[in-house]
Each structure stands twice: as C-alpha cells, then as structure tokens.
Chain A
C-alpha cells in the first residue's frame, strides 16, 4: 500500500515547549487512519503540520510527494480540513454555507449543484437546507462541516475530533459517513480522544504527551493483551471497595467498574489469574476472559493505571450509612417559551450513590443538572439537597455541595495556590482550618511542584486534579460533576475515579453527567434523558438488559443508549 502522507522525524516546538517529539509515521492511501490520544497529546498540531498551516521545527512532512509546509500552494484543493470548531456561519442557512464553501474551494459553477445534491443526500441534511446553521443540533453541525470540507473533492481528508461533544448516535452516523467515502481514492485521518473509536480504524497513530506510542492496526496492539483481560462477575458486597483492593494487588495493572462487574487487566508476566490467586473466592462468583479493548492496551503501554488508594478520601470522615435521600428532583419542569427543556423529571438519590445523567446533546440533561445544583430556577417542581430547597434556603444549603464544571473553571490568571486559597475562602474556611485543608489537598494530589504555576499553564491532568480539589476542599456531602473527564487521558480518568469511588465509600453522594459510556458504567443508577424526559432509569445492567435481543445478545452501554433513544423516537413517531 503506497503512502500518501509521509512524516519523517518531525519535531515541533512552541516557545520551547515540545508539542510533537521526533515523530515518524505514514498514512496509507485510500485508508482511514485514526489519530488517537488524550487532549494536549499533540493531535491538532500534527494535523496542522500535515496541511501546512504550521512548519515543523525539524523534519519534513510530505503529502503526495510535496513538502507540506514549503510547497503548500501545490497542495491547494488536495486537502480537505475540518478543524475542531468548524467555521460554519451560524447566521447562514445550510445551503448558504455550502454555497459559500463551494466558492472558497473554487468549485466550478456547473459542478456545484451536483456536488450539493450529493452532499445533502450523503449527510441526510436535504430536509434542512433552509435552516440556519446555528439552529442545527451538535451532530448535524458536524455533518454540515464535514460536507463543506468535502466540497471540491479533496483526496486527503483531515478531521480534527469530529466526534467531540457529539452524542454516540451522531458519532456512529458520522463514522459510517466517512467510511462510505473510502472508495480507494480518498484518504482520511480521523482524530479522536475516544479510544473506542480507534478500534474501528484500519490503522491508528497513538499519541500521548507529544510522543507516538504506537502506529499500526489496532488489533495488533490489543492482540498483545490477548488472555490478559478478565471480567469479575457475581460480586457480593461493595464492588468499589473490592476494586480498590484489587488495584493494589501485584499483577493487576488496570481495573475499572463495568456495571455490577469489574474489568481487570493483568500484567504480561503475571501467572494465570483465578479467584483464588486474587483472594476473592468469597467476594465474587466468576472470573471470565473477555476481549481486550483499545483502552486496555493504551493503559498497558503506559505501564498500567494508578493504584486503588485515594489520599483524598482518607481526609473525609465517614458519613452515616443511613440510606437517606440526599438529593431529589420532584417533577422538575423547565420551559423556555414554548420549548420544554426538562419535562417532569423525577428521581431520588440515596446517600453514597453515584447517579448518572446520560443523554444526547440538547436533550435536557444539563438543564436538569443545573436545576439540581441551584444554577437554574425550575418553572415548576422543586429540587432538594439534604432536604433543603436550594432556591429558598440559599447560601447555607449550598455549603453542602461541591461542583465541578464541564470545562476547566478555575481562574487561569491565578496560580494553583491562589486558586486553592480562593475556593477555600468562599466556602468559609479561615485561618488554620484553611491552611490545613490546603496542605491536605497539596499532599493528596501531589501539587507541590506546581504551586506557583498559572492555572492556565498547568498540564491537563493537573488542571483536572485542581478542579476536583477545589470542588471537595470543604468536604461536601454531595458532589456535582458535569462531564468531569472529557478529553483527559485514561490514566487521569482512572485516577479521578479512584478518588470518586473512595469518596462514595465514605458516604459522599455523586451526581454526574457524562458522554463517556465507560464513565456511565461507574454509576449505581442512570437516568437516560431524551427530549427533556427521563426515558429510562435504572442500573447500568438493567438498562443493558432492556435492550438485549437476539441480534444483540451482549449489549454494551452504548448499544443500550442508542437503542433506548431510537425506541423513544419510534414511540414518538407512532403517537
């Protein structure tokens, strides 16, 4: 297979910081290659180097035989590029956007109509040609962006995280669309921080901290883990405590919660594991081998995940295990004019429970979340935290909750220590109490080398830790997490969940919204929100059970999500 793009020992530095470190790779012609890695790994930089928007500090990138940076003019029209935030004009309609990009791409007048029709049919946007781009859903915007970057028929398509912030259904659609393009002529580079997408690519480039960790077919990487991944099922008692225990066992390099089971990855040199060798004969019934996933392999390359101990949770006093209702939504309704964003949402969350809100973009999960933590006033119904209505009881009730926002919401202009001091201060910690808590956070999260660094300049993993530290420093009883780990590396995500699991063990209650299906697996219960309504509520296993059928005997969380949403659509249509 000839290579269309050849990357030869490139290095890219920004003001002394290395963004790409000595990377050599090639993209096979007519194939789809996944560019996989967490945020800040260097994916965007690499894409911009390939389309010549950046010049490498050292090394060369050749596209179709031309130097990408120096002979960029010769590659005009050859490359289609869809940046992370595609430049759609929100005030123009779908068709006007297509026309604009056709002109920008110099598509000949007589060919435009044909290409438009093809694109509209291909993206299934034909019904929406007259709609403003700003009024499209997140998934449809991405499709339109894809259509626009395909105008002029490029031979190399560079997609920078087309799936970011897009729900699983739209992600699958985008994926099948791009696959339909692969007719032997088109070469595609698909960048993503979702590791499950990597498995579907013919070939992947795995990037982490500006280094290329792996290049080749994903099966080659997961093949290394054959027979090293097990599912521990039939667990009696607390699976979170069990996971923490197992993670500290030698030979166990990674472990996550998967519904009511645990998924464990063992070291290559570990002896064949059994219930007995793990010492869990009394805690669980069976240990069965399962197919390794790309994420397992990623963790394996990095030398394993973090241990099971949370120094953070050790600072918390255990709360009484009384099963009291800590947070509750009583027929919550939020209307904006004639649009109902949340429609009669009802649930109760017990102490020490992890409750997940799952749903496509714009389905109402953020609205519900915001009403619960008091950021939005419900049109009717009420939200209670510890029995207090946040709208009425105000400041004192809010002291009980910790909040971690979707995007990093600490003060970029302040250094790490100043951020900690600020968040300690607004939660009323003073003097010695404040210093003790701050010292505790610095120890628990190993902040010492970063204290004087601007929060905005911190590595992503540290920023994520800082956000958690600021949310829990005052020892809240309820923790609100709004997509807390989007884009962070799987190691950071595991570290995060180690803390959360340990906090929950102490009786802290967690409400979380998430796009990540494996994050949903950590939840005790999930409410699937769609079109403003909770269309299904239950444990992850219950939801999966609901969609089990002959053609899908072992549904994943994502299968459950997609099928339940589609089922709801069907009911809506038949009504």
Chain B
C-alpha cells in the first residue's frame, strides 16, 4: 500500500516540477502576490487633502489650522472663502473633509467660553471619512487640551499592543499568507484531478488496484508538500523583507499550516470530484475561495456580520487559521490558546477529506 501511495506522490511531484514553467508558476506568483497585495490592501489613510473655511481672523484659529497643516496625515490644505466654494470642493471630490471655523472662534476662546468647529465629510467615501474623522478629532482634542479648554479632562494615552505603530502591514501580511495558502491549496489538487479526467488518465488509475483512500492520500500529500514550500517562502519574505516580528513558536505555526492546507486540499478534491474539466475546477475553486475570504474576518470582523453569516463562517477553515497565524506572528500565541482554533480546523479537515473520498467513490455511478 505504501509503495503504491509513494508511486502516486512521486508521479504528482514529477508532473508539477518537471516542467520549468509549472515550477515557476508554483513559486513566483505567491511571493509576487504577497508583495503586491500587502502594499495594495492597506487600510490606512494617508496623503489626505482637506479644505479649510475659516471665517475667523484671530490668531487662535490660525493656530488650529497650522496644527492640521503640520500633521503628517494631511498634506494639502485648500483655503475656501465662501459656502459655495465649500460645496464645490466636496462635490468635485477635491478632498474628503472640510474644517469650518466660525467667526467668533478666537473671541470665545479668549473669553474662556466653549468653542465649536464644524467638520464636513464626503459621505460617499464613508470608510475613509470615518478614519479621517478619527485623525481630525485627535488633533482637535490636543488643541483643546493645550488651550485650556475642558482642562479637567486628562487626554487618554492610547497604546496599541502588539502593533505599537498601528502598521497595517502587521495585520495584512499574516492574513495574506493564509489566503494565498488557501487559494493554492484548493486549486492545485482540484486542477490535478480535473486534468487527469480530461486526459483520461484518471480512468487508468481507477481500473488499477489503487483504492479510493490511496488515491486520496496520493493527491493530498503532494499538494501539502507544495503548500508547505510556498508557505515557507512567504513567511521568510514577511520576516526578512517586510521586517514583520515573529514572536511565536515556529513548530506550532507549521503544525497549524499542515492542518490548514490539508483541510483546504480536502475541499479542493471535493470540488474536483464535482467537475469534469479544468475550467470547471478553476471556477469551482474561486466560487469557494472568494466568499471564504470575505467571511473569514480578514476584511471585516466576523462579529460585525449578520448572525447567519457568522454561523456560516464557522465552516470556513480560513477563519480559524487567520486567528492562529496572526496570533503566532504578533503575540506569541501559546499552544493552549491556539488549540481553540486548531480543533475546529482538525474537524473540518476530517469532514472535507471524508466528503471528498465519498464523492470519489460515488463518482463511479
């Protein structure tokens, strides 16, 4: 039995690695995607243009404007002198925010009365507006504190644990490693089975003494090996090129990767059992992968989703793996904590492989 499985694995690796083009396709795109995505998918907002409608001529208002000017987030300030140009500014999307200062600002401030300014946002870009709002409020709060307004309130000192500079790369990179591992882990086995079907070699395998379990193992192991190589490449790139801190246990991370890739390979094999051609297999793989990324908690927290989606995400292996890989990279997640997410992953692995095996058998009908 082991000899037969070994034969299958050797064959699979030979097919994948013998051709130079396939070799390159397996190694280069994941690293390239990692680089491109990690720069592209930042959630940070930088280089903001804003407008200033200052009706006050006092020194205090100029000081406030200067604070915005010197903030690293806001790079371009446009002076607006009437409400019409203000409207135009936002309409034409020249900037996402306008700071409007009333004409009694300096006077009230000097008199020690409470002052107010208005912030206008472009609601069409709600995400950006929300983030910019946060930046602006921070500047306003420090201005208030310095000018003695509401002096009784001690400003809070926010400290971001595990990501002190709130560098979004810290968040996205480990997630991307998981996502890319998943996409490859699904497509490689799905394509390899579909290709064998198209070329008629699958029939050859089915009439041989190989059992469906052996075929399943013979398809899973090569995909796992390739996935491990890819994951290692991406982890090294993250640590060496992107200077991501790696705080946890490498052994634990690899254990999780093995379980994770096996579970998605099972899904890939399951998809391939339903497909006749490579085209269907690719479409099937993406039909699974895209929603799996969306409900994994990568882009939006799972807790923000409607209840039924939260239940659905319980079946998403990526959901558990993202928690583990982020935890291991950034906060030295201990084994006991990782286990909470590893156990569901193991369960999903068993189920997906059983399903794939069952469908392989059923396919004979």
Contacts and interface: CB of A to CB of B under 8 A. Distances in A.
Interface in B172-221: 199-201, 203-211
B3 A428 contact: yes
A399 interface: yes
B208 A426 contact: yes
A50 to B, nearest CB: 31
B153 interface: no
Interface string A351-375: 0000000000000000000000111
Given A395-B211, A426-B208, A427-B208, A414 B3 contact: no
5 contacts: A375-B206, A406-B200, A418-B14, A426-B210, A427-B209
Interface string A391-432: 000111011010101111111111000100111111110100
Interface in A382-397: 394-396
A425 B364 contact: no
Interface in B1-32: 3-4, 6-8, 10-11, 14-15, 18-19
B365 A377 contact: yes
Interface in A2-22: none
Contact of A374 (B15, B18, B200, B207): B207
A410 B3 CA distance: 20
Contacts of A405: 200, 203-204
Contacts of B208: 398, 423, 426-427
A409 B364 contact: no
B4 A411 contact: no
B11 A418 contact: yes
A480 interface: yes
A31 to B, nearest CB: 39
A428 B4 CA distance: 6
Contact of A373 (B7, B14, B207, B211): B207
A213 interface: no
Contact of B209 (A399, A410, A424, A480): A399
Given A376-B364, A395-B211, 5 more contacts: A376-B365, A412-B199, A414-B14, A426-B8, A426-B210
B207 A398 contact: yes
Q: How large is the interface on A (under 10, 10 to 19, 20 to 34, 35 or more residues)?
A: 20 to 34
B7 A426 contact: yes
A375 B200 contact: no
A375 B4 contact: no
B206 to A, nearest CB: 6
A403 B14 CA distance: 23
A403 B209 contact: no
Contacts of B7: 421-422, 424-426
Nearest to B15: A413
Contacts of B4: 425-426, 428
Contacts of A407: 200
A403 B11 contact: no
A413 B18 contact: yes
Contact of B203 (A375, A394, A412): A375
A360 B209 CA distance: 31
Interface in A145-199: none
A394 B211 contact: yes
A256 B147 CA distance: 109
A403 B211 contact: no
Contacts of B207: 373-375, 398, 401, 403, 480
A425 B203 contact: no
A3 B353 CA distance: 66
Contacts, number: 82
Contacts of B14: 413-414, 418
Nearest to B22: A413
Determine which residue in B8, B19, B207 has the highest number of CB atoms from chain A within 10 A of its CB, and name it: B207
A376 B365 CA distance: 6
Given A375-B364, A395-B210, A427-B208, A411 B15 contact: yes
Nearest to B362: A377
B15 A414 contact: yes
A543 to B, nearest CB: 29
Contacts of A480: 207
A412 B19 CA distance: 11
A407 to B, nearest CB: 6
A184 B19 CA distance: 53
Nearest to B19: A413
Given A374-B206, A405-B203, A409-B200, A422 B11 contact: yes
Given A375-B364, A414-B11, A414-B14, A425 B200 contact: no
A410 B18 contact: no
A411 B364 contact: no
Contacts of A398: 207-209
> Ordered nearest first, which 6 A-B pairs have the shortest CB separation?
A425-B7, A409-B200, A395-B209, A403-B207, A399-B209, A426-B208
Contacts of A426: 4, 7-8, 205, 208-210
A83 to B, nearest CB: 21
Nearest to B11: A422
Nearest to A418: B14
A489 to B, nearest CB: 22
A108 B19 CA distance: 51
Nearest to A399: B209
A403 to B, nearest CB: 4
Contacts of B203: 375, 403, 405, 409
Contacts of B365: 376-377
A375 B4 CA distance: 20
A401 B209 CA distance: 9
B11 A411 contact: yes
Contacts of A373: 207
Contacts of A425: 3-4, 6-8, 10-11
A413 B7 CA distance: 15
A17 B19 CA distance: 21
A525 to B, nearest CB: 23
A320 B7 CA distance: 32
A376 B205 CA distance: 14
Contacts of B19: 413
Q: Which of B203, B204, B206 has the most CB of A within 10 A?
A: B204
A451 to B, nearest CB: 14
Contacts of A428: 3-4, 209
Interface in B322-365: 364-365
Contacts of A423: 204, 208
Interface in B69-90: none
Q: Which of A375, A422, A430, A480 has the most C-beta atoms of chain B within 10 angstroms of its own C-beta?
A: A422
B364 A377 contact: yes
Nearest to A376: B364
Contacts of B8: 425-426
Interface in A420-464: 421-428, 430
B204 A409 contact: yes
Q: Which one of A375, A399, A403, A413 has the highest number of Cβ atoms from chain B below 10 Å of its Cβ?
A: A413
A386 to B, nearest CB: 14
Nearest to B207: A403
Nearest to A374: B207
Contacts of A399: 209
Interface string A207-219: 0000000000000
B20 to A, nearest CB: 12
B74 to A, nearest CB: 57
Contacts of A409: 199-201, 203-204
Contacts of A396: 209
Contact of A414 (B18, B210, B211): B18
Contacts of A394: 211
A201 to B, nearest CB: 33
Nearest to A396: B209
Nearest to A470: B204
B114 to A, nearest CB: 72
A428 B209 CA distance: 8
Interface string B22-46: 0000000000000000000000000
